[in-house]
């Protein structure tokens, strides 16, 4: 932006009158390409990097990481490298399916599952030559060259590829080494090979500060002048060789380095008309400070707006509610259709509802071992439903209660061993590690289920997983009840909860102003309760069965709680007002008098979008 401003102010300047230097080029190469490309500024970059930093060579080295550990990240690094010839569509599918299949349970290289992917077959075949412990340097060189040929490798640039082949040939020898040693030797050789050819014919000149000696320009930008980068960080040989020896050999040592850097800065300051030193105030969330070498210079902030536009280009991205999409998804024939779960999600956080239900986006999560409440909840729900389904229409007595308890335990064990039977994405099942930490939960959950079943002796099991649809004003509402019982004249809607706490349903609509519509007015009462699902269940059941209903929560949480059943009789007192406010909500949607804003409340803690949400930094 500053380069463009300078050109605007002084039209006699040409692109070649600008010089942009960085303490070291390799880490800035991609940034330069992206920013200059986006701004449309021509540039000529002197790469100034060693072969070990060349992206196409980094891809070759990533093969060694994969041989050490077949982790998801290592596999994806190889499959998604543009320098190998893998089918990119299959790579995208592989990424998606592995993230679904191994979410929460961690990626484990299950051979049968992986073997159905063509990219994996190709990779596995190519790796064969490197899957040994020791070999001569010649053997390793040959195996590596065979591998890159089998994977259709091509280098970033002709110069770097031919240098790489040359190095592999020069490494040949009869010394026997193991794979790690061969890799170290290869890396060391690559580190010594410098790639220097400039990219681009004309434009702003961009290079490392050391390369800029003797270049005369009108305006210089010195980027990345942080305390951490100037004096520059020590390189590998500086750690291992004693200072005395480095001096002796004429190698860089810290005194020489500081002197050289001072000289470079002095040279740039004196030899050019105008110089800008810039540094970021934060890198990866860590505060940065100006280099000590610039202590005598004044500084001023230069704000870079997150979204900017140039003449002739559009906005990069803007978040906005797309009402067309919303209506297409939920509105048809003069009515809106929602499930109780969707409306509950809307009440919890309209922004999250919008992302998931309207845009259909979900966060990109690398598969790792973590608590997966959704899958665990599904297993417990399904086991509890299976336990009751055989006794539908019967009044629970001691015998049928015993039958339910036995079935529940059996089904819980079964789903734990065969999660794929309830979730097709879990074809590989749980890894042994995950199974080990889930197993101790079984007896605890069974104890709770047994007590709850005994407490309901004398009630009639009407149905399990009972679906129903009712209309309220312009909203068609659907719900699925985990278990329906009849006790005297009362319909009991039982919901299984596998979370730690019972849902809270306030006695009145809370007077919260946090959800505002487009005019800044509080939203209808139905979106202000902490839990709307249970009120919706009450309304649905009352209409569906034409009987008075009671919502009950059964807690089946693995940390045995004191209270395992909670009844919500007070819902009948708030249902009428709630029903009216649902009608009001439909009107707000029709008049677009609603905004899908982040809720910023307790639910953020469990939200998958928390790392990407605008509320994150507040």
Which spans of this chain sit near ligand SF4 (rule: CB under 6 A)?
A: 349, 351-352, 598-600, 603-604, 607, 609-610, 613, 615
Q: Which is nearer to ligand SF4, 79 or 529 (CB)?
A: 529
How far CA 158 is from CA of 146, 154, 332, 471, in Å, comes to 19, 9, 58, 68
Q: Which is nearer to ligand SF4, 150 or 604 (CB)?
A: 604
**CA–CA dist 153, 270 (Å, integer):** 47
Place of tokens 């905004």: 595
- Cα dihedral across residues 433, 435, 438, 440: positive or negative: negative
**CA–CA dist 42, 281 (Å, integer):** 27
How far CA 409 is from CA of 91, 379, 430, 434, 455, in Å, comes to 40, 11, 18, 19, 18
Least distance in angstroms from the C-beta of 351 to ligand SF4: 5
**CA–CA dist 376, 439 (Å, integer):** 11
> Does the bond joining 231 to the residue before it have cis omega, within 30 degrees of 0?
yes
Partners of 476 in the β-ladder: 337, 471
Place of tokens 């417990």: 380
Q: Which is nearer to ligand SF4, 279 or 353 (CB)?
A: 353
Residue 377 has a CB neighbour count (10 Å cut-off) of 16
Place of tokens 């002739």: 312
**CA–CA dist 486, 466 (Å, integer):** 13
Q: Which is nearer to ligand SF4, 500 or 514 (CB)?
A: 514
Least distance in angstroms from the C-beta of 354 to ligand SF4: 9
What dihedral do alpha carbons 122, 126, 128, 132 form, nearest 10°? -140
Least distance in angstroms from the C-beta of 559 to ligand SF4: 24
**CA–CA dist 515, 349 (Å, integer):** 9
Nearest to 575 by CA among 523, 531, 513, 526: 526
Least distance in angstroms from the C-beta of 595 to ligand SF4: 13
**CA–CA dist 503, 559 (Å, integer):** 17
Q: Which is nearer to ligand SF4, 290 or 600 (CB)?
A: 600
112 burial via Cβ count (<10 Å: 0-12, 13-18, 19+): exposed
205, 18 contact by CB (below 8 A): yes
Least distance in angstroms from the C-beta of 321 to ligand SF4: 14
Q: Which is nearer to ligand SF4, 510 or 614 (CB)?
A: 614
**CA–CA dist 51, 171 (Å, integer):** 15
460, 532 contact by CB (below 8 A): no
Residue 513 has a CB neighbour count (10 Å cut-off) of 11
Least distance in angstroms from the C-beta of 599 to ligand SF4: 5
Q: Which is nearer to ligand SF4, 103 or 144 (CB)?
A: 103
Least distance in angstroms from the C-beta of 371 to ligand SF4: 18
Least distance in angstroms from the C-beta of 604 to ligand SF4: 3
Least distance in angstroms from the C-beta of 349 to ligand SF4: 3
Nearest to 548 by CA among 476, 473, 487: 487
Least distance in angstroms from the C-beta of 608 to ligand SF4: 8
Q: Which is nearer to ligand SF4, 300 or 364 (CB)?
A: 364
Q: Which is nearer to ligand SF4, 267 or 600 (CB)?
A: 600
CA atoms within 13 A on the CB side of 268: 27
Q: Which is nearer to ligand SF4, 51 or 355 (CB)?
A: 355
Least distance in angstroms from the C-beta of 499 to ligand SF4: 15
Q: Which is nearer to ligand SF4, 160 or 348 (CB)?
A: 348
Q: Which is nearer to ligand SF4, 151 or 597 (CB)?
A: 597
**CA–CA dist 492, 494 (Å, integer):** 6
Q: Which is nearer to ligand SF4, 491 or 607 (CB)?
A: 607
How many residues are given for the chain? 618
Least distance in angstroms from the C-beta of 601 to ligand SF4: 7
482, 595 contact by CB (below 8 A): no
Least distance in angstroms from the C-beta of 451 to ligand SF4: 34
- E strands, 123-257, where? 134-136, 176-178, 194-195, 204-208, 219-222
Phi, psi of 499 (to 5 degrees): -85, 175
Q: Which is nearer to ligand SF4, 479 or 598 (CB)?
A: 598
* Helix, coil or strand: residue 484: strand
Least distance in angstroms from the C-beta of 591 to ligand SF4: 24
SS (H, E, C) 148-166: HHHCCCCCCCHHHHHHHHH
Residue 228: CB partners within 8 Å, gap ≥ 6? Answer: 288
């Amino acid at each position: 932006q500053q380069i463009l401003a300078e050109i605007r102010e002084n039209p006699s300047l040409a692109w070649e009158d600008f010089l942009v230097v960085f303490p070291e080029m390799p880490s800035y190469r991609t940034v330069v390409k992206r920013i200059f490309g986006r701004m449309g500024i021509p540039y000529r970059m002197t790469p100034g990097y060693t072969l070990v930093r060349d992206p196409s060579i980094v891809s070759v080295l990533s093969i060694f990481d994969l041989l050490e550990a077949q982790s998801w990240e290592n596999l994806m690094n190889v499959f998604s490298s543009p320098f190998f010839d893998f089918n990119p569509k299959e790579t995208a599918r592989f990424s998606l399916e592995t993230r679904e299949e191994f979410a929460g349970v961690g990626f484990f290289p299950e051979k049968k599952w992986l073997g159905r992917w063509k990219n994996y077959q190709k990779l596995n075949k190519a790796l064969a030559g490197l899957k040994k412990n020791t070999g001569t340097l010649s053997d390793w060189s040959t195996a590596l060259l065979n591998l890159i040929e089998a994977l259709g490798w091509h280098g970033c640039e002709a110069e770097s590829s031919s240098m790489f082949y040359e190095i592999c040939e020069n490494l040949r020898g009869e010394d026997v080494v193991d794979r790690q040693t061969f890799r170290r030797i290869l890396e060391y050789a690559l580190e010594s090979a410098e790639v220097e050819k400039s990219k681009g014919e004309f434009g702003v000149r961009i290079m490392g500060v050391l390369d800029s000696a003797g270049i005369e320009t009108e305006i210089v930008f010195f980027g990345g002048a942080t305390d951490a980068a100037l004096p520059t960080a020590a390189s590998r040989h500086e750690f291992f060789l004693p200072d005395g020896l480095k001096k002796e050999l004429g190698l860089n040592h810290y005194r020489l380095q500081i002197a050289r850097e001072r000289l470079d800065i002095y040279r740039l300051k004196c030899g050019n008309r105008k110089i800008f030193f810039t540094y970021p105030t934060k890198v990866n969330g860590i505060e940065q400070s100006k280099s000590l070498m610039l202590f005598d210079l004044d500084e001023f902030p230069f704000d870079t707006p997150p979204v900017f536009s140039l003449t002739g280009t559009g906005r990069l991205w803007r978040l906005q509610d797309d009402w067309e999409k919303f209506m297409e998804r939920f509105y048809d024939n003069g009515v809106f259709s929602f499930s109780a779960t969707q409306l509950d999600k809307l009440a919890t956080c309209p922004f999250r509802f919008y992302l998931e239900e309207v845009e259909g986006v979900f966060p990109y999560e690398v598969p790792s071992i973590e608590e997966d409440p959704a899958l665990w909840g599904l297993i417990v729900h399904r086991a509890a439903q299976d336990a009751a389904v055989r006794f539908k229409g019967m009044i629970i007595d001691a015998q049928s209660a015993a039958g339910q308890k036995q079935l529940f335990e059996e089904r819980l064990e079964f789903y734990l061993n065969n999660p794929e039977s309830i979730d097709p994405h879990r074809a590989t099942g749980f890894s042994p590690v995950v199974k080990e930490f889930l197993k101790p939960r079984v007896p605890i959950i069974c104890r709770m289920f047994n007590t709850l079943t005994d407490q309901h002796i004398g009630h009639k099991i009407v149905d399990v997983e009972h679906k129903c649809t009712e209309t309220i004003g312009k909203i068609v509402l659907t719900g699925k009840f985990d278990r329906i019982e009849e006790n005297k004249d009362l319909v009991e809607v039982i919901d299984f909860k596998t979370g730690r706490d019972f849902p809270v349903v306030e006695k009145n609509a809370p007077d919260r102003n946090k959800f505002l519509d487009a005019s800044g007015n509080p939203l209808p009462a139905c979106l202000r309760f902490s839990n709307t699902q249970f009120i919706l269940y009450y309304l649905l059941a009352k209409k569906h069965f034409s009987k008075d209903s009671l919502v009950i929560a059964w807690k089946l949480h693995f940390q045995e709680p004191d209270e395992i059943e909670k009844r919500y009789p007070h819902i009948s007192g708030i249902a009428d007002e709630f029903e009216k406010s649902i009608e009001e909500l439909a009107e707000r949607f029709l008049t677009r008098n609603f905004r899908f804003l982040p809720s910023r409340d307790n639910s953020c803690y469990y939200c998958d979008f928390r790392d990407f949400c605008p509320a994150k930094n507040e």
